[in-house]
């Protein structure tokens, strides 16, 4: 798979997995994205303003692993934590590693409380 197609597929997978959490009436939603590039402690993310990303947010990093016992055949395994240092646009941001590892193709998540429409 080419380097240009792989990040696009990962971003689409993140959107599919995040869709149920972003459904109306939900009190919590999860900002999700993926690691596009990783060089030492500097990370480029597929997450931006459209995903609720903001400078200073800390996101958990998960690697996707094969899991024969899960319904999808995959599961996520905690790999570390990163902090957003710059939001570039609607779909991208930069971050640094706080702990653990943030390898390319890892998933990043941040749970945020959201006020309900009723109150």
pLDDT of residue 115: 33
Contacting residues for 33 by C-beta, under 8 A, at least 6 apart: 11, 14, 45, 46, 47, 48, 51, 53, 59, 93, 107, 108
**Secondary structure letter of residue 22 according to DSSP:** G
Burial of residue 75 (CB within 10 Å: 0-12, 13-18, 19+) is middle
Cα Rg of the chain (Å, integer): 14
Rounded to whole angstroms, the Cα distance separating 69 from 5 reads 29
Q: Which tokens is 94 given?
A: 């930069």
Per-residue pLDDT of 32-88, as tens digits, reads 899 999 998 899 999 999 888 999 999 999 998 888 887 778 888 999 999 999 999
What percent of the chain clears pLDDT 70, i.e. is strictly above it?
A: 67
Q: With 70 as the cut, is the pLDDT of residue 20 above it?
A: no
């Amino acid at each position: 798979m080419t380097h240009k197609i792989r990040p696009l597929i990962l971003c689409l997978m993140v959107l599919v997995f995040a869709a149920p959490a972003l459904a109306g009436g939900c009190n919590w939603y999860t900002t999700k994205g993926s690691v596009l590039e990783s060089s030492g402690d500097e990370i480029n993310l597929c997450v931006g303003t459209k995903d609720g990303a903001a400078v200073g947010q800390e996101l958990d990093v998960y690697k996707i692993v094969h899991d024969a016992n899960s319904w999808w055949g995959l599961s996520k395994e905690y790999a570390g934590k990163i902090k957003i240092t710059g939001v570039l646009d609607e779909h991208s941001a930069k971050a640094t590693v706080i702990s653990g590892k943030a390898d390319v193709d890892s998933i990043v998540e941040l749970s945020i409380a959201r006020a309900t429409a009723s109150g």
